[in-house]
Amino acid sequence: MDQSIQQRLARAMEELKATEAAVAKAETELRGSSCTVKSRDRSVEVTVDAQGGLVALRFLDGAYRDMGPAELAASVLEAAEHARTTMARQVMQVLGPLTRASQAVPELSGVEVDWLKIFGPGVMAEPDDSAVRPSQRRLRDEINEDGEE
């Protein structure tokens, strides 16, 4: 059953309008989004916006007073990286449907997005709230060792 070119064009235009509306909704949703994460040692809380920018930093329960500068810095960096990765996953979840091919109009293929290139390798790993990437763990160890000398 062949559709006329006009019918196919009309369906494509409807799909385009629906996509434009979905993009506007996603932009609005992300514009007000943020993610707040505590460090594993519960001494620091950071908040990042949808672009991964640090918008708030809180030191919790006075624990920072008993920490050395290097240890505190490591906690801040750990929490910030975790918050950025979590926020990036939320962005991917919101924008993901917009990258898929159209079901109604087969000629409208999806947009291929290289999430790895945009957000880095951490975003593609399985979420694990207790995990710290080995490079971060090594950095923490090196910082702690430097502080002990």
Per-domain residue ranges of the chain: 5-148
For residues 17 and 123, what is the distance between their CA atoms, to the nearest angstrom? 30
H or E segment at 44? strand 44-49
Asked if pLDDT for residue 130 goes beyond 80, the answer is no
For residues 70 and 143, what is the distance between their CA atoms, to the nearest angstrom? 6
Q: What is the pLDDT of residues 102-117, one digit of tens each?
A: 776 666 676 777 777 7
For residues 80 and 87, what is the distance between their CA atoms, to the nearest angstrom? 10
**Sequence-separated (6 or more) residues with CB below 8 Å from residue 117:** none
Query: Is 78 or 143 the better-scoring residue by pLDDT?
Result: 78
Mean per-residue pLDDT, 50-71: 91
DSSP at 105: -
Please give the structure tokens belonging to residue 99.
């990258």
Q: Give the pLDDT score at 135.
A: 32
Mean per-residue pLDDT, 23-47: 90
H or E segment at 20? helix 5-31
Q: Give the pLDDT score at 36.
A: 95
Mean per-residue pLDDT, 72-92: 92
Confidence of residue 101 (pLDDT cuts 50, 70, 90): confident
**Sequence-separated (6 or more) residues with CB below 8 Å from residue 129:** 82
Query: Is 19 or 36 the better-scoring residue by pLDDT?
Result: 36
- The CA-based angle 42-132-142, given to 5 degrees, is 90
Task: Look up the pTM and report it.
Answer: 0.67
Quick one: which of 89, 90, 84, 81 has its CA closest to 29? 90
φ, ψ of residue 61 to 5 degrees: the values are 50, 25
Q: Give the pLDDT score at 68.
A: 93
Query: Is 15 or 60 the better-scoring residue by pLDDT?
Result: 60
Asked if pLDDT for residue 137 goes beyond 60, the answer is no
**What does the mean pLDDT of the chain come to?**
78
Mean per-residue pLDDT, 46-75: 92
For residues 58 and 42, what is the distance between their CA atoms, to the nearest angstrom? 11
- Domain 5-148 homologous superfamily, CATH: Nucleoid-associated protein YbaB-like domain (3.30.1310.10)
